[in-house]
Amino acid sequence: MGGDLGPAAVVEGVDIAVRRRGGLRCLLHGKRDEIEPILARFPAARDASEIRDAETFVTMDDKPSEALRRSRGSSMWNAIQAVKAGEADVAMSAGNTGALMAISKVILRMKPNVHRPAIVASWPTPRGFSAVLDVGANIECTPTQLVEFAILGEAFSRAVHGIERPTVGLLNIGAEELKGNSMVQEAAQLMRAAHLDLDYYGYVEGDDISMGTVDVVVTDGFTGNVALKTAEGTARLVGRFVREEFTSTFRNRLSAFLSRDVLRGLRSRMDPRSANGGVLLGMNGIVVKSHGSADGEGFATALRVAAGMAESNFLSEIEHNLHRLARMSDAAAEQAAE
């Protein structure tokens, strides 16, 4: 029931996703009288879905604390509860991000040795996609939490992007060892000292994200969210410049016509719908956040990410590195106490 386009985009997205891959089943939590007429227009979605009636839902304007107090029985609450009950492999929503995070933490709880959840985004690069986290869940982080994000992001990259041995980098203002604030420097030291079973590259800079220098870029939620919104705005600006130039004169319009296949391919590669689907990592269950403005095509992309997570060994893969990091942190705490 959330998102800018409401259940219409969700149902259309389910229809697209079902037709592209078999075996997908969906529980649609929301107002039955609104969902049923939409389902009637999409036969593939209708045959692959079951409606779970919920008269209340979390609005986009609800504050997380308010939504949490009165969300029990809402469509968002019930969707996440279905994961805890084992009825669903993944919960997915295009609704209120803060509420989705808060309700997920209450129902699913954090995994052992994970202090805070993180939102990971798939970032287009010349090599495919990089995983960037956190992109908005945590404004401030400790060095240990950044290392936890590295563990989560590395497993996500393998599960969703199919990279057998992802490389991991810490976002910094320079590649030199002395660059950056104390949080990033301490995280880098901890990453090396913990001897984790992952391929740590070192520091990466802002331009390395889009160039795909590493498969996983780790940062705090404040920096990650600013970087994500800046990239989205830049993509829209470049698209606007291209349209203006190709329509400014008759000669340019003729050039646009002759280059239509190239422009169509460029538009497809720059389409934000192709990278939709941020995963909330670190909980005892999988939750996927679709962009609130996503249409059916964008929602279908997020469903593809959700299906990839459901079919992966993500939750079990992170256990080893998390235990190793926890043992090191406990030993450091004991040594400091002495």
Taking each helix axis from N to C terminus, what angle separates 143-161 and 182-193, rounded to the nearest 10 degrees? Answer: 60
Neighbours of 196 (CB within 10 A): 21
Percentage of the chain modeled with pLDDT above 90: 29
Number of domains in the chain: 1
More confident residue, 337 or 31: 31
Q: Is the pLDDT of residue 324 over 80?
A: no
Please answer whether residues 27 and 79 qualify as being in contact, where contact means their C-beta atoms are separated by less than 8 angstroms: yes
Q: pLDDT tens, 28-45? A: 999 999 999 999 999 999
pLDDT over threshold 90, residue 80: yes
Answer yes or no: is 53 within a domain.
no
Whether 185 is covered by a domain: the verdict is: yes
Q: Per the domain annotation, does 193 fall within a domain? A: yes
pLDDT in the model for residue 42: 94
Specify if 112 maps to a domain: no
Span 279-316, pLDDT tens digits: 888 888 889 988 888 889 889 989 988 888 888 877 77
Q: What backbone phi and psi angles, to 5 degrees, belong to 188?
A: -65, -45
Q: Rounded distance, CA 81 to CA 238, Å? A: 42
Q: What's the pTM value of the predicted model, to 2 decimals?
A: 0.80
Asked if the structure places residue 135 within a domain, the reply is yes
Residues 134-149 have a mean pLDDT of 87
Please give the Cα distance from 30 to 94 (Å, whole number). Answer: 13
What CATH number is given to the structural domain containing 223? 3.40.718.10
Q: How high is the pLDDT of residue 121?
A: 87
Q: Which of 205, 143, 219 is nearest to 173 (CA)?
A: 205
> Taking residues 245-256, what's their average pLDDT?
85
Determine the structural domain holding residue 185 and report its residue range.
Answer: 123-274+314-338
Provide the 8-state DSSP code for 327: H
Does residue 283 lie in a domain region?
A: no
∠ at Cα 148 (142, 150), nearest 5°?
110
- State yes or no: pLDDT of 333 exceeds 60: no
Q: Is residue 297 part of a domain?
A: no
**What CA–CA distance (Å, rounded) separates 62 from 1?**
14
